[in-house]
Amino acid sequence: MVKTMELGPRLNTVAPDFKLYNHESVQNSLSELMGTDGLLLGFTGDIWQPASVRRILWFQRHVGNFNRYGVNIGLLICDKPYVLYGYHLSTATPLGFPLLADEDRSVHLRYNMTQHAGLVLINHEGYICDKWLVPDERVWPRTQEIIASFDLL
């Protein structure tokens, strides 16, 4: 896992707000996605890339663990809402979190997440507390490592 200060968003800064359409064509903002204690935002490429599919499946397995800590999940994907809806229809297991269409990669750019996949942990006040940059051969960091960062919220 890559965890550097130079890449990705700057820690302890206000998370850039956004409005993106989810897989059901409903517009979501940062504040609407926020859980009682925080938000874990995932950034990945096109939805049908194998690495993106693995990351979605991983989130499906672990969304309940994060929700128990008051942390919601949102996954920003570089595709159109109708493409995300197609994925949603193809999955046998309910998602439990929104797939967010960042088709022009503008939010990826605002978070400095254009060169890599990754996670950004945001506290309920809207500050970026932690981040993980993930190479394509990895899915996400270990669940325990992410949950340990919830102490920063």
Q: What is the CATH number of the domain that holds 80?
A: 3.40.30.10
Q: Is residue 3 part of a domain?
A: no
Residue 135 confidence class, pLDDT cut points 50, 70, 90: confident
pLDDT at 97: 95
First to last CA, the chain: 21
pLDDT at 5: 55
Question: Shortest CA distance to 128 belongs to which of 60, 24, 34?
Answer: 34
Q: Which two tokens stand for residue 4?
A: 């550097």
Q: Is residue 81 part of a domain?
A: yes
pLDDT at 6: 65
Q: Is residue 5 part of a domain?
A: no
CB environment 21-52: b (16+ within 10 A), e (fewer): bbbeeeebebeebbbeebbbbbbbbebebebb
Q: Is residue 60 part of a domain?
A: yes
Residue 4 confidence class, pLDDT cut points 50, 70, 90: low
Please give the residue range of the domain that contains residue 95.
19-152
> Helix, strand, or coil here: 112?
coil
Among 4-13, 17-26, 76-85, 123-132, which stretch is predicted with the lowest mean pLDDT?
A: 4-13
pTM attached to this predicted model: 0.93
14-45 tens-digit pLDDT: 999 999 999 999 999 999 999 999 999 999 99
70-121 tens-digit pLDDT: 999 999 999 999 999 999 999 888 899 999 999 999 999 999 998 889 999 9
The DSSP letter of residue 26 is -
Q: How many CB atoms lie within 10 A of CB 112?
A: 19
Distance of CA 78 to the CA centre of its chain: 12
Q: How many domains does the chain have?
A: 1
Q: Is residue 144 part of a domain?
A: yes
